[in-house]
Structure 1
Amino acid sequence: MLHKPAAARSNGDDGAPGFGVYIHWPFCAAKCPYCDFNSHVRHKPVDQARYVEAFRREMETMRGWTGPRAVTSVFIGGGTPSLMQPETVAALLETADRIWGLPAGIEITMEANPSSADAGRFAGYRSAGVNRLSLGVQALNDADLKFLGRLHNTKEALQAIAMARATFPRLSFDLIYARPGQALDAWETELREAVGYAADHLSLYQLTIEDGTPFKALFEAGRIAIPDQDRAADLYDLTNAVTADLGLPAYEISNHAAPGAESRHNLTYWRYGDYVGTGPGAHGRFSLPGGGKRVTITERHPETWASSVEQRGHGVIEEESLDSEAQGDEMLLMGLRLAEGIDVARYESLSGRAFDPARLAMLQAEKLVEPVANSRLRATPAGRLVLNALVAELAA
């Protein structure tokens, strides 16, 4: 376990893009019908020792690619990481610390599901170094939890929240809205209840129908009817209004936090920082010494990934080097999701081009973008609703 003195804050956000380490644990107890993440169900116990060794080897290889870096956050996602033994989590964090060095107080987030919540395990994860838990609650009523294919009920969700609040310095949990038949007043009631339980952060996602999921087949068969675009926009506006009123304003399109409690790791993505992704199906993006950015994507199938790491030292199956134009486009797409927007000078330096003044003036006149403190540019609430089109206009 990590025996380091606690820092005053476990966020440490200085506004810089940062360098994150993402660790993907791909196993779940069951596959949710809306989920298109790389998650897999195994009906026999997972050989956790084998995967610890595979993560160790892949992280060592990636350290050779990145060189020494000042790590600003670690995120253990999935899948369902709370299916891991605490000793497994401790081994993964000790490896990351040995390879890159994890400073005292660094934000270390782990995802968990209420159905696998256990006070003893939570205490073990905390002892291992985890100081921020992200719970996949998704709804606060039993009917919708059943519809979403979750293995927990509302009582179990609230018990998990209480355990997490008692164990970890920081807590976030997820909810999905724009569910079939969801009324505005019902969502407001549920949301206000959620804010009362959350420690400092909520991730609030609109239900989307993703390719390759059971919900996609049901939707195409006419057996699921999600809110239309206008109702979804109304639910989004209500979400922002209620969370702001209760002290957790949106700092990103789907994420809401008390000031200072934003997810440091996810800010690294949205600020277009660097990160390595280790584990089955993980993505990484990190700067190269001579310029450009390297993209890595690992094998999605867990056992195939582990075999690849054992044979080659890593499970990467796709790589790409991004030129300045591609980096600029990605920075726009990520950064305009944030309430803080993007640093215009950094965008111009990264992309090698400036915004077209006439196009920028047109978008400002249409109230889709706005300047911030003469150095930044952000999307307005209206602009964030049409973000892809907005990015295309700015990048043209």
Structure 2
Amino acid sequence: MTPRPVPHTLAFVESPVQLLNVLEWAHTQSPARGSGGAGLVPSQKRRTATPVTPAEPSLGLTLVVLSPTDPMSRGQLRRMAELARDEGHEVRWEEARGGASAPFRTIGGLAPLLRRAGRVVMGDPFSRYVQLLLTITRARDLVVVDDGTATMEFAGQLARGERLVRWHRKGGRPGPRDLLFAPVSAAARRRLAASGGRRVEVFSAMPVTDIPEGVTLTVNGFAWTRARFGPPRVLAGADLVGTSLVETGVVDGDRYLDAVRTLAGAHGAKRYFAHRRESAGKLHRLAAETGLEVVRPDLPLELIARRGPIGRTVLSFPSTVVHTLPPALAGTGVRVAVCDIDPGWLTSHASPRAGGFLSGVTDSAHGVDRLSSGGAYAVPYAPPAAPGASDR
């Protein structure tokens, strides 16, 4: 029987984490695993445990970096692009936000590629850029890889037929730009529904529970990361992971600083791994008032932690890493602990859903210790089940 030809794949990423997760997805598409994700069961969660070989250039993957403007993201993306080239993938860097005419140049230059691509992988379905590009492509295979906890909200909104809105903005009134862009967003949402012969896959390490009918969910077990990095040297003591919840207007800055100081003191943390979107002013104040060494990682934290050295305990607030670090660090003996967000820390501008969403991020995490006013309790990490298994 002649195998089905592998379609050329075009991937769009706007952050280092998205690029990492495209590499993780590509790792599962190697010939050793079969072509094109064959055998996945729609609307079921399949946990993949079988070791796989590196992705090969025959996958036909072109990674398009829609470059952001902030220097930290750009620096991490350039490092991740080097790793992607080392894997044999083509990388195309687009200055997609370099002035008023940049979007027109970018979309015009990508249109021929989009029309030829048989499969499109995207890291942020909420992105207006990505939504606009989705209206151009004729690809029958669409794949959404993680852009952090936003994937949880995306899958639920798609399943419920709601408009695509980031969780920390939900509850507010649509602005003029939202209303102007609404037809494009609605068209993108329709394309992301598995209908009309389209195959839609969500590749995620998040605890996605609301799966639209016909959409396949494949669990990201960070096999590529574990194969390429580590195991790390584990240090005594703790490291603390930063968050951009202050920058997004969800958590009050003074309350956050107090929480970091208390958490670091209670657990003897020495280093603070900054989120790439944390402001320089906030980090300078944090270092001065807590004594923590602020580290600006040059790669996503999953790779930094796996490469090491890393503290025996990694402390975090509710964020993506409470879901991604346990599988990335499986077998290393590193403990991941998450500190709840007190409702009193939320700003008056925070979405009405913010508190419940952040609690859900923590409640659904596996392989972490939970730190709260009642103490800490452990939730053991459950490794991925055999291929084809469903945890529904």
* TM-score, with structure 2 as normaliser: 0.32
Which is bigger in relative contact order (C-alpha 8 A, separation at least 6)? Answer: 2
With normalisation by structure 1, the TM-score equals 0.32
